Amino acid sequence: METPENEQFRDSIGTINTEGKRAWVYPKKPWGRLYDYRKWVSYGLLLFLFSSPFIKINGNQFLMFNILERRFNVFGFPFWPQDFHLFVIIMIIGVVFITLFTVAFGRIFCGWICPQTIFMEMVFRRIEYWIDGDRGAQIRLDKAPWNAEKIRKRVLKWFVFFLISFLIANIFLAYFIGSDRLIQYVVDGPASHLSTLISLLIFTGVFYFIFAWFREQVCIIVCPYGRLQGALLDTKSIVVAYDHKRGEGQNGRAKFRKKEDRSALGKGDCIDCNQCVQVCPTGIDIRNGTQLECVNCTACIDICNHMMEKVDLPKGLIRYASEDNIEKKAKFKFNNRLKGYTAVLTILIGVLTGMLFLRNDVEATVLRLPGQLYERKADNIISNVYTFKVVNKTVEDIADMHFELLSHKGKIELVTHKNFTVKAQDIAEGTLFIEINAAALDKDKTKLNIGVYQHDKLIETTQANFLGPRSYN
């Protein structure tokens, strides 16, 4: 059975035409109160994104994700592979945070915070409007033959897009390898770091491809978060929504006519001006309901409010609302469910902050040398050999360190020297022996508590297994 024309949106996405090819979206230039707010938010976020690799706290880059050297800084706190459990917890908290936030507030993140939307709508798209003009001019330019004007505009646009993509790739590199090293590479010149230059150009190409051509397809096809919406949203979730009750009335939407009593005629408030469709960067019609493609950018809210103002109807035909708000005409209430979610989010953020601040600056591991049995020495002394690793996560050297047994009487002997120093943000490694009198052992495998001291101050504790004979005489 053929799908009725007004239901066809259910069978296909807005950016694919009937032949299955990409339908290029030419969104009308957005403007309005929410767009202005989004501009300010995006300026702040862009400033944050571009400046974070160059901000240092206690000598640590504010944000750094050096995967190759396994060095990570989050908000100026250095993380080591030894902190991996913290990373896992942060990721779990992140997933829970996003889930709860989405259930309550829909895709606000996509429209206001997501770097893809910020770069696409607030950087590349605005350059496109500046060079190619608004929607109509862009359509005409695309259809026009390759004359001097089209070549000039295209070359200029592609060149500016390339420059910005190159800049973004550099910033990403600063996140990966550290801003100090990036600056050093720039000073040394590209010829000295050819492999880095090639990686940089590959990243530039990826960004260029995304922002010059792939665009909204990232949100529709690639982004897993967008795909989760169907599972996360419910009738209480606040999303960018068309008030279909008001917009359709009894007899559906209809074009605006002057001096006509629309409510008496049963016409809805939607004047079918199509502006919300034309302004949408993902090419959908929000009047068809919440859709996977909608990134909650609010452009349709702004333009519809403007249209409502023009025809002297109340604003808010498209607005942030839940399905229940629209169906039951209930005003938005910060209900118990939202309060609960907000409380959980606050607790999670508190836990995360606490974990970051309470994290130990020094981390020690003492492991028995694999494959080595214990050694029995004179005077009934049992000895085990271990390797140790002490990580100093601070920006200062920690000198005069040594180990002491906390749980048993015995001694710890370092192979090379007695006390040792761990340099700032470095690791000290070595071998040590632990010796305990067999009389103090009550089984063949004993868990030991070991203290790590700087001078006489206990700064970290760790555990290790100690092997001994099965029977004691």
Work out which of 294, 382, 432, 434 binds ligand SF4, going by CB under 6 A.
294
Least separation in angstroms between CB 31 and ligand SF4: 13
Q: Which two tokens stand for residue 458?
A: 């206990």
Least separation in angstroms between CB 15 and ligand SF4: 12
C-alpha span between 136 and 95 (Å, rounded): 41
Rank residues 40 and 357 by Cβ distance to ligand SF4 and give the closer one. 40
Q: Which of 22, 61, 37 is nearest to 183 (CA)?
A: 61
Rank residues 61 and 229 by Cβ distance to ligand SF4 and give the closer one. 229
Pairing of strands 318-321, 362-368: unpaired
Q: Which two tokens stand for residue 101?
A: 């936030």
Establish if 295 lies at the interface with ligand SF4 (CB under 6 A).
Answer: yes
Establish if 298 lies at the interface with ligand SF4 (CB under 6 A).
Answer: yes
Rank residues 218 and 395 by Cβ distance to ligand SF4 and give the closer one. 218
Q: Which of 365, 361, 389 is nearest to 463 (CA)?
A: 365
From residue 27, alpha-carbon distances to 96, 128, 278, 305 in Å are 34, 11, 6, 17
Establish if 118 lies at the interface with ligand SF4 (CB under 6 A).
Answer: no
Work out which of 120, 131, 169, 286 binds ligand SF4, going by CB under 6 A.
286
C-alpha span between 5 and 74 (Å, rounded): 51
Work out which of 64, 108, 280, 448 binds ligand SF4, going by CB under 6 A.
280
Establish if 168 lies at the interface with ligand SF4 (CB under 6 A).
Answer: no
Q: Which two tokens stand for residue 166?
A: 């190159």
Establish if 382 lies at the interface with ligand SF4 (CB under 6 A).
Answer: no
Establish if 398 lies at the interface with ligand SF4 (CB under 6 A).
Answer: no
Q: Which two tokens stand for residue 317?
A: 């035909």
**Beta carbons within 8 Å of 236's beta carbon, 6+ residues apart:** 322, 323, 324, 335, 337
Rank residues 74 and 270 by Cβ distance to ligand SF4 and give the closer one. 270
Establish if 180 lies at the interface with ligand SF4 (CB under 6 A).
Answer: no
| Binding residues for ligand SF4 restricted to 30-69, rule: CB under 6 A | none
**Beta carbons within 8 Å of 28's beta carbon, 6+ residues apart:** 134, 135, 275, 278, 279, 303
Least separation in angstroms between CB 191 and ligand SF4: 45
Crossing angle between the packed helical segments 194-209 and 148-177, to the nearest 10 degrees: 130
Establish if 116 lies at the interface with ligand SF4 (CB under 6 A).
Answer: no
Rank residues 272 and 324 by Cβ distance to ligand SF4 and give the closer one. 272
Work out which of 34, 174, 182, 284 binds ligand SF4, going by CB under 6 A.
284
Rank residues 74 and 326 by Cβ distance to ligand SF4 and give the closer one. 326
Q: Which of 316, 318, 391 is nearest to 361 (CA)?
A: 391
Rank residues 286 and 450 by Cβ distance to ligand SF4 and give the closer one. 286
**Beta carbons within 8 Å of 395's beta carbon, 6+ residues apart:** 58, 59, 60, 424, 425
C-alpha span between 94 and 122 (Å, rounded): 26
Rank residues 184 and 263 by Cβ distance to ligand SF4 and give the closer one. 263
User: Interacting stretch for ligand SF4, rule CB under 6 A, among 33-41, 149-157, 279-287, 356-364?
Assistant: 279-287
Establish if 254 lies at the interface with ligand SF4 (CB under 6 A).
Answer: no
User: Interacting stretch for ligand SF4, rule CB under 6 A, among 41-49, 264-272, 325-333, 334-342?
Assistant: 264-272
Work out which of 108, 131, 177, 297 binds ligand SF4, going by CB under 6 A.
297
Work out which of 180, 272, 361, 404 binds ligand SF4, going by CB under 6 A.
272
Establish if 450 lies at the interface with ligand SF4 (CB under 6 A).
Answer: no
C-alpha span between 43 and 37 (Å, rounded): 10
Identify the bridge partners of residue 450 per DSSP, sorted by sequence position. Answer: 405, 462
Give the HSE-up count for residue 419: Cα atoms under 13 Å, Cβ half-sphere: 10
C-alpha span between 194 and 212 (Å, rounded): 26
From residue 343, alpha-carbon distances to 101, 256, 348, 350 in Å are 11, 46, 9, 10
Establish if 274 lies at the interface with ligand SF4 (CB under 6 A).
Answer: yes
Establish if 233 lies at the interface with ligand SF4 (CB under 6 A).
Answer: no
Rank residues 157 and 287 by Cβ distance to ligand SF4 and give the closer one. 287
Q: Which two tokens stand for residue 51?
A: 């400046």
Q: Which of 348, 366, 368 is nearest to 356 (CA)?
A: 348
Work out which of 267, 287, 319, 393 binds ligand SF4, going by CB under 6 A.
287
C-alpha span between 420 and 404 (Å, rounded): 13
| Binding residues for ligand SF4 restricted to 399-438, rule: CB under 6 A | none
Work out which of 34, 240, 382, 464 binds ligand SF4, going by CB under 6 A.
240
Work out which of 296, 325, 384, 446 binds ligand SF4, going by CB under 6 A.
296
How many residues of this chain interact with ligand SF4, rule: CB under 6 A?
Answer: 29
Give the CA angle between residues 43, 45, 46 to the nearest 5°.
65
Binding residues for ligand SF4 (CB under 6 A): 240, 242, 247, 270-276, 279-282, 284, 286-287, 294-300, 303-304, 307, 317-318
